[in-house]
Amino acid sequence: MKGPNPRGPVQIDANFLSDPDDLTAAIACVELCREIGNSASLRPFTKREVMPGNLKGAELETFVRNGVESYFHETCTAKMGQDSMSVVDSTLRVYGIENLRIADGSVMPRITTGNTMAACVIIGERAGELLSTAHKLSEVGAALR
């Protein structure tokens, strides 16, 4: 968050291409893909190059910078634990901030070896249990039934 207002604007800096070697590697990948795609071996299967086209230098750098994104499910950015790098405790409460819990993949201390969706569902279910208990919501639900 850019300020104290929880409804205020959010600033996300994914830090993509912050190291010059990352940009060099990304440009090399694009050039390799263009070389393979435009090779004589693949010519019978293609009509034309769609993108990036014959870009070089600053234009190719701009193409790469504008196109970079993650296809991963970001996790482990607000890890649960008790060490100095931990952000939340075992009840999903954020250390040092009252009445704030985090219930998503960011609390995982390590990324799962499988799809993160299942782990996120479990984290959400656990958050529901914790909130129901903390606010005695199960008693209210039982009274309404």
pLDDT tens for residues 80-92? 999 999 999 999 9
Q: 140 pLDDT band (50/70/90 cuts)?
A: low
Phi-psi region of 15 (alpha: psi -120 to 50; beta: other; left: phi over 0): left
135 labelled catalytic:
no
Confidence band, pLDDT 50/70/90 cuts, at residue 143: low
pLDDT bracket for residue 139 (50, 70, 90): low
Distance separating alpha carbons of residues 140 and 118, to the nearest angstrom: 29
In terms of Cα–Cα distance, which of 2, 7, 51, 1 is closest to 30? 51
Instruction: Indicate the pLDDT class of residue 78, thresholds 50, 70 and 90.
Output: very high
Q: What residues contact residue 31 under an 8 Å CB cut-off, 6+ apart?
A: 60
Please pick, among 32, 73, 125, 141, the residue that the annotation labels catalytic. Answer: 73
57-67 vs 20-37: helix crossing angle, rounded to 10: 100
For 56, the token pair is 């070089």
Mean pLDDT over 16-20 rounds to: 91
pLDDT at 119 > cutoff 90: yes
**What is the value of pTM for the model shown?**
0.53
